Amino acid sequence: MARKSKTPRSKQVPWSRPRQSSPLWFQSLQSLNRRAHDQANRRSGRRELKSIRAAIAAVEEPESAFSVAWMRRLTRWLFALILLPLCWVTTWTFLARFLRATVQQGFWQSAEFWYFATGMLLMIGWFASGLLKTFFLYLYVLGHELTHAVFVLLFRGKVTDFHVSAEGGYITTNKTNLLIALSPYFVPFWSVVFAMFYGVIRLSTSLEAGWDLAFYALMGLTWTFHMVWTLWMIPRDQPDLKENGTFLSLVVIYFANLLVLIGLFCIAEETPLLNARDFAREWLRHAATSGDLVWRFLVNTIAEVRAYGLL
């Protein structure tokens, strides 16, 4: 966001013209009349030019811009509606597994859970207090724009300009799509950075078990940092959301953040791959159950409609 500089207005000093004789007054009147004719001619020329451009645009574009925008909007809404059942089944599966792990398996008693929760609580408290708000906002904007840039490079695009400040930021690129536009809202950039940094140290040196607990606390801190600032930024008229439709963008952001949370939940347990496989199997069971309920509802609704003679 470019900062608008305010310049002081210059004071106007009153001044007076000397009176002129009548011939000079008549000449000035002729000059004003000539200028009025010139301006009228220029206006008419601009009107004709605009009409010509509009006609050319109508010939070159077989479909109006309104119909194209309407079709694009309809496609986005349909895609968002298709994602909603996936969001429902995934949320159902995550809550069921999390409650089972917490209540029956005692996951809430593990050190990993409490260190992660401690990091979350620390960041929530810090965010609520407002301490160093400008500094944390700058970090968030920096991670936001860097995530945009990384996804542009992953899609083989180019970044030609990059700007970050506490008031906002932007990148200039030759490529954009749904993932590039929304990636900062579901990728916890600083969590990924610290995870990669810790992974390199873990593989290169031998660390004690206590460092793993510190890593979970750091993950809770950085992931919550990503979530609270994302929730704080979304209602503030973000152009990233309008680029692909606000409704579709919000659905994708929710679904993607849910998948990130599920990944963190699976990694926190002893056998991540086994937990991921069990999660996928339970997801399929819940999807089949939900599909069966929807099918039965549709069949019963059609039967009732036919009973009333509407079909």
In a domain, 170, yes or no: yes
159 lies in which domain range? 65-270
Rounded CA-CA distance 14/114 in Å is: 74
In a domain, 15, yes or no: no
E strand spans, 32-131: none
In a domain, 288, yes or no: no
pLDDT of residue 41: 44
In a domain, 87, yes or no: yes
pLDDT of residue 66: 64
In a domain, 30, yes or no: no
Please state the domain count of the chain.
Answer: 1
In a domain, 154, yes or no: yes
pLDDT of residue 143: 93
In a domain, 18, yes or no: no
pLDDT of residue 102: 77
In a domain, 14, yes or no: no
Rounded CA-CA distance 140/138 in Å is: 5
For 161-230, what is the HEC assignment? Answer: EEEEECCEEEEEECCCCHHHHHHHHHCCHHHHHHHHHHHHHHHHCCCCHHHHHHHHHHHHHHHHHHHHHH
Q: Which of these, 127, 167, 128, lies nearest to 145 by C-alpha position? A: 167
pLDDT values of the chain reduced to their tens digit, one per residue, 311 residues: 333 333 333 333 233 333 333 344 444 444 544 554 454 444 444 333 332 232 223 334 455 666 777 888 888 899 999 999 999 999 999 999 888 877 777 767 778 788 889 999 999 999 988 888 889 999 999 999 999 999 999 999 999 988 888 888 888 888 888 999 999 999 999 999 998 998 888 888 887 777 888 888 999 999 999 999 999 988 887 888 888 888 999 999 999 999 988 888 777 666 777 888 888 999 999 899 988 898 998 888 888 888 887 76
